[in-house]
Structure 1
Amino acid sequence: MAARAGLGYITPPKPSDNNTTCILNKGDTGALESQRYYLARKTVLEMLRDRGCVVDDSEVDRTLSEFRSVFGEKPDVDQLRICVPFLSRPSKKILVIFCGPLEINKAKATGIILNILNKESLHRIILVLENKINHFARTVFEECQVKMEMFPITELFANITKHVAAPKIEILSTMEKEQLLKKYELADKQLPYMLESDAIARYYGLEKKQVVKVTYNSKNTGLLVTYRCVI
């Protein structure tokens, strides 16, 4: 069977101006700005937990009204920062920075990097973007000693792994990958593949040559297990 990209299920569409408004409104009478940050920050916290980071349940389960009581109707993006360690490697952390509504140019990108303390303890830095980022700013981030990931804030208004058609994803360890390839006498390039740019791969922060176990369980497919190698 030929290898196919993606996971074979329908990924929720990226929010347009119209459906973003639908996601955000839902009868809420408070400031739209705080609702945007609330939804994005909640998804980021869920993403960090799914990557194996230590995330307090009270942070994830915080309601919109509780969020507003802590951060206000117009949150200061610096107060929204998140820095959490991995459960298995407490000395390594992921830092999440909300970049605010202004376009990111070289000067702003340089300022973001200079204001990050203890870079040696960071495994990744995630930037939540609200505006454009120019070429010079991207170059600054690419030269950072810590790997940077960028997510437009609109992609974080909903958690794609909670989509009705989303399968269960399990990331294989190096040993589990070797055992799988040995069992079926395969090279990793012979496995069905998933692009590193795939929305699910980005959510979990997957890198090239990592392998995931994908389990579908629905009325249409029944119980189906497959594996994907990130390329």
Structure 2
Amino acid sequence: MTEAMDVDGAGGEENFRSCLSSLMDTGTVESHRYYLARKTLLEMLRDRGFAVPNCEIEVSLGEFRTKHGDNPDVDGLRISSLHKDDPSIKALVLFCEPGIVKVNVVRGIAARISQEGLDRLILVVQSKITSQASKAVELFPFKVEIFQITDLLVNVTKHELKPKHQVLTNAEKEKLLKQYSIEEKQLPRMLLKDAIARYYGLEKGQVVKVTYGGELTQLHVTYRCVW
């Protein structure tokens, strides 16, 4: 009886350890960071109206590592997408190598994508970008957005405490201003550097509908104009 109980106890402990080890992430932190950041970027492009298949967003960490390995090549992480309403609008996402982004890196990127016909480029950096490199970015003939990879590990719009944001079309904005007989400068403001404004890639003058609501609060709607 005692021996049988010892065997069962040992077997139970072994099963417990096996179960516990299956829950542990045995891959690299680097691959996990790339996976989370890329997923957020795919969701970001989708929310901006670009054509992003759900199957790409729903890729698991294991599937990502199977494809890209534990030390992904940043060139293999690039994302290219066309806008659903206007396929002539093209966005490209590029990951920079770890380390300081210097002007020669930016020039190399410019040379590689010169024939892409882009409307927007998103650069993901993992360290600081030098002043010379920043000036070189400003010379691109289209808008360039720069995100730190650490800012993309979590999708800011999915935080449970964040209200719902909806970007108004120009027609919806004009209807709102006419309805309340106001000018856009009279609306509450949202800064261009705000996390939500950056997520949606908003421009100055665009208006966002913000809906607050929850179990403890009543539904409340306000509007913010980007400045």
Q: Greater RCO between the two (CA within 8 Å, min separation 6)?
A: 1
Q: Distance in 2 between matches of 1:160 and 1:56?
A: 21
Distance 1:221 1:124 in 2: 39
CA distance in 1, matches of 2:105, 2:164: 39
1:145-184 to structure 2, matched below 5 A, reads 145-184=141-180
| CA offset digits 1:106-154 (Å, max 9, x no partner) | 111100111114343x221000011111000001101110110011000
- Paired-residue identity, %: 52
TM-score, reference length from structure 1: 0.86
Q: Residue 191 of structure 2 aligns with which residue?
A: 195
**What is the DSSP-based 3-state SS (H/G/I as helix, E as strand, rest coil) of the residue aligned with 1:52?**
coil
Please tell me whether the aligned partners of residues 40 and 153 of structure 1 are also in contact (alpha carbons under 8 angstroms).
Answer: yes
1:142-192 deviations in Å (ceiling 9; x for gaps): 111011001100011111101011111111111111111001000000001
- Give the aligned residue type for 1:128: V
Could you tell me which runs of 5 or more consecutive residues in structure 1 were left unpaired when the two chains were aligned. 1-25
Deviation, 1:100, is: 1.4
- Mapping of 1:199-214 within 5 angstroms? 199-214=195-210
1:105 aligns with 2:99: no
Give the distance between the partners of 1:166 and 1:94, measured in 2 at CA. 26
The Cα of 1:220 is off from its aligned counterpart by 3.2
In 1, Cα distance between equivalents of 2:103 and 2:125? 15
Aligned-residue offset at 1:32: 1.4
Q: Distance in 2 between matches of 1:123 and 1:173?
A: 19
Pairing 1:53-64 to 2, within 5 Å after superposition: 53-64=50-61
Are 2:111 and 1:114 equivalent residues in the alignment?
A: yes
Equivalent position amino acid for 1:109 in 2: V
Equivalent pair of 1:119/1:146 in contact (CA under 8 Å): no
Alpha-carbon RMSD across the aligned residues, in angstroms, is: 1.1
2:120 paired residue number: 124
How far, CA to CA, are the matches of 1:119 and 1:61 in structure 2?
27
Distance in 2 between residues matched to 1:196 and 1:79, nearest whole Å: 30
Give the structure 1 partner of residue 30 of structure 2: 33
Return the letter of the residue paired with 1:39: L
Choose from 179, 182, 186 the match for 2:182: 186
Distance 2:86 2:164 in 1: 24
Q: Which runs of 5+ in 2 are unaligned?
A: 1-22
How many positions carry a matched residue from both structures?
Answer: 205
